[in-house]
Structure 1
Amino acid sequence: MRRIHIRDLNFFSERFPERPNPYFEWVWDRTLQDNDVTVFTDQFLHEALRNKSRVKVGVLFEPPAISPEVYAFARTHEEAFDYICTFDESLIASVGSKFVPYIYGTSWIHTGTWGVYPKTRHASMIMSSKKITPGQRLRHEVAGRYGSHFSLFGRGIRPIENKIDGLKDYRYSIAMENCRVNAYFTEKVMDCFLTGTIPIYYGCPKIMKFFNPVGVYTFENLDELDGILKGLSEEDYRSRLSAVWENFAKAVEYFWFEKSLWKSCLSRVV
C-alpha cells in the first residue's frame, strides 16, 4: 500500500488517517519530517515553507468563508507546493497555477449503516449554534420560521448521539452548507443521500452536476424554501424513489475524497 504523510488540524483524532481507502495509506506526521510525499491541509500549509519532502501537496478543506487566511496564504505561496487541491474555481482558473480540482464529499455516518431506509417520518433538520457564515445564520432563520414543520436536532436543541438517528426515518431533511461555493458539497448533503433521505439543500450551486436533480430540492432563500415545504408529501417522496437510489449510489462514489485527490494529482507523484 502506498503511504502518504499528512499534516492536519481539521480532524482531531487519528480516525481520519486510519480510515481505510483503496488508494493509499495516510500516515499522521506529528514531527514535520522530510518525507517522500507530504500533504499539508489548511492550518498547516505554512509548514511547507520549511519542509523538504520530495513532493509537497496542499489541500484546502474549509471554504473561504471559514478560513479566508488559508486562501490568502495559498495564493501568495503556491510556489512552495507541487500541487494545491481545492474546489475554488477562481484558484483553479489561475493561469499557470498549481491549483487542481478535487471533490470533498465525505460522510459523518458509519459506512456500515448506509442504506435507503424505510421512511416513517416527514422531515428533519440538524443544526449547530454557530452563526458566523451566511449559511449558518440562515439555518437559524429557517429554524425560527419553520421549526414547527419538522423535527429539529442539534446541540442545545435536541442532541442526538448518532447523526443517522436524525435522518434514516425521515423522507426529507433540510441540509445547509456553511456557504455557497461551486463544486463544494460536504457531509451535510451526503449524509442525506446515504440514508435515502431527500435533501432540501442550500449550498453548492452546481449540485445538479453531481446528483440526479429529481432526488434533491434546492433553495437560496426563505421564499423558495416556503414553496418547497408546501409541496412535500409521502406521495412526492415515493415518486422520486428511483432518483433516491441513484443518488445513494453516486454519494457512495463521492465519499472518498482520497479518490478525488488521487485522480487530481497524487497518482502522478507517488
Structure 2
Amino acid sequence: MSISLLPSGVLRSYGEDLSRIPLRHLQWPTGEHDDCGTREADALVGDLKADDDLILTADSRSLWASRRNIRCRVSILTEQPFSTQGHFYTLLRWRGRSYHRVFTHQISLCHALPNARLVEHGGTTLQALPKTPSVKTAMVSLVDSTTHHLPGHRLCHRVAAWSRTACKTTQLYGPGYLALSDKTEAHAPFRYSVIVENSRSKGYFTEKLIDSMLCSNVPIYWGDPSIGSYFDPRGMVVCETQADIQKAIVQASSEDYDRRRPFVDVNQWIAKRLSRSMIHRACDILHDEQDSQSQHHSILNADGFRKNAEQRDSFHTGNDPVPQLTKAA
C-alpha cells in the first residue's frame, strides 16, 4: 500500500486524465513510493495497484478529472472554506460517492456522504514546535500581509492601521512592518496575538491559529464561528467585529493572561495534535482503515478455519465409532 498526493496544477498539463500523469509529479506524504512496485522512471498513475491510494485536492479540475484506466483507490481532500468555495461542496454531495474517501473539515458533508471522513483544519508554519514554555515579555502582536481580496484580509489591514496610531504597544509584523524569519518570533514573547482568518466559515481555521496556540498565546480571534467546538474559548478572545478586536487589544493585560493560562495550556495541547497537516492526518485514516480491514479479514479467516475444524471434528463426535484402518486380507 502506498499513498500519494497529486499537487494542485499538475492535472492541467495532462488533459485532466489522471492515468497519464507520471508518478514523478506526485508527492508521497508518508514516504511509501518504494513499496508501490512502480519505480520505473516512466511509470504513470495508471500503473498504481489496486491497493494503492491517490489523494486529490478539491478544485475545479480535480472534481471533473477522468478516472478511466485507474486501478488505485482515489480520494479527495477539501481544504477551502465553504464561504468562498461553496460550489465545491455542492458538487461533492452529488459526486462524492464515486471516490474512495472524501476528506473534509465540513461536518455537514460528513453527514451527507457515508464515505466522508472528518479531518479538522490545522497545520503549522513554525520551523520547530516549542519544547519549553514561552517566556512572555510583551503584550500583543499582529502579523499582516499584502493580500486584499477576502474580507479577513481587509479586516486585518484595518486593525493594523488602527494599531499604528491608537495602540502603539501592538507589535506589527509582515510586509511594511517588522520582518519575520520564523513565525515563532511573532508569537513566543507575546501574551496575545491577533489572529484574523481570511473568511468566516464553520470548521475553517488555519495554521495562523495553531501557530499562536503552540506558543501559549491567547488568540484575539476572528474567523470560524464554531471555534468553541474545537478549542476552549476561555483560552481565547473570540471576536465578531473590528470593534471587538480593538476592544480586546486595549484590554489585554498580564492579569487577564494569567487567569486564562490554564485554558491556554489546554488549547496548546489540542493544537499540538492538529499541528500535523490535513493530508498527513488523512493518510493516518487510510492506514488505520486498511489495518482494521486487514485485521477483520484475519479474524474472518480464523473463524472460518475454526468452523471448518469443528465441522471436520463433528464426523468423529457422534455415536458412530471412529473408523479404523484394517489391513487388506
TM-score category, normalised to shorter length: 0.7 to 0.9
Measured at CA, do residues 93 and 269 of structure 1 come closer, stay the same or move farther in structure 2, by a change above 3 Å?
same
Q: Could you say if the C-alpha distance between residues 259 and 64 of structure 1 is closer, same or farther in structure 2, counting changes exceeding 3 Å? A: same
Instruction: Answer whether contact 2:6 2:27 (CA < 8 A) is retained.
Output: no
What is the rounded CA distance, in whole Å, between the counterparts of 1:169 and 1:48 in structure 2?
Answer: 50
The whole-number CA distance in structure 2 between the counterparts of 1:242 and 1:212 is 10
Deviation at 1:154, TM superposition (A): 1.3
Structure 1 equivalent of residue 231 of structure 2: 211
CA contact (8 A) 1:119 1:168 kept: yes
Q: Indicate the SS of the match to 1:240.
A: helix
Report the more deviating stretch, 257-266 or 182-191. 257-266
Specify the alignment match of 2:269 in structure 1: 249
Higher helix share: 2
Instruction: Give 2:140's match in structure 1, choosing from 108, 123, 134.
Output: 123
2:103 paired with 1:82: no
RMSD over aligned Cα atoms = 3.1
Aligned residue identity for 1:253 = R
- In the superposition, relative to structure 1, how do residues 98 and 133 fare at CA in structure 2: closer, same or farther (>3 Å)? farther
2:288 to 257, 267, 270: 267
The 1-side partners of 2:131 and 2:86 are apart by 34
**1:54 aligned partner:** 72
> Normalising to structure 1: TM-score of the pair?
0.82
Partner of 1:41: 57
Deviation at 1:48, TM superposition (A): 5.5
Deviation at 1:136, TM superposition (A): 1.5
Distance (whole Å) between structure 1 residues aligned to residue 152 and residue 251 of structure 2: 23
Q: 1:103-154 CA deviation, whole Å, 9 max, x = no partner? A: 1211000234455310111111112111222211211222222344211111
**1:105-120 aligned within 5 A:** 105-113=122-130, 115-120=132-137
How far apart, in 2, do the equivalents of 1:75 and 1:115 lie?
A: 44
SS at match of 2:264: helix
Q: For residue 74 of structure 1, give the secondary structure of its aligned residue in structure 2.
A: helix
SS at match of 2:65: helix
The 8 Å contact of residues 119 and 171 in structure 1, kept in 2 or not, is answered as yes
Deviation at 1:66, TM superposition (A): 4.6
Partners of 2:69 and 2:172 in 1: CA distance: 46
Question: For residues 149-179 of structure 1, what are the alpha-carbon distances to aligned partners after superposition, in whole Å with 9 as ceiling and x for unaligned?
Answer: 2111112433212111111111111011111
Going from structure 1 to structure 2, the CA distance change for 1:200 and 1:33 (only over 3 Å counts) comes to farther
Change (3 A) 1:203 1:166: same
In structure 1, C-alpha distance between the alignment counterparts of 2:53 and 2:271, rounded to whole Å:
28
**Of 162, 167, 187, which aligns to 1:145?**
162
2:5 aligned counterpart, secondary structure: strand
* Bigger Cα Rg: 2
TM-score computed with the length of structure 2 as normaliser: 0.69
Counterpart contact for 1:40–1:48, Cα < 8 Å: no
Relative contact order higher in (CA < 8 Å, ≥ 6 apart) = 1
Q: Deviations over 1:211-247 (max 9, x none)?
A: 2222111101022223322321112112222222221
Q: Is the 8 A contact 2:138 2:191 kept in 1?
A: yes
Gapped regions of structure 2 (runs ≥ 5): 10-23, 292-329
Q: Residues 147 and 67 (structure 1 numbering): CA distance in 2 closer, same or farther, change over 3 Å?
A: farther
More strand by share: 1
Contact 1:133 1:179 in 2 (8 A): yes
Percent identity for Structure 1 against Structure 2? 23
Match of 1:221 in 2: 241
Residue 297 of structure 2: aligned partner: none
Residue 99 of structure 1 is matched in structure 2 by: 116
Choose 245-254 or 138-147, whichever is displaced more. 138-147
The residue number in structure 2 matching 1:6 is: 5
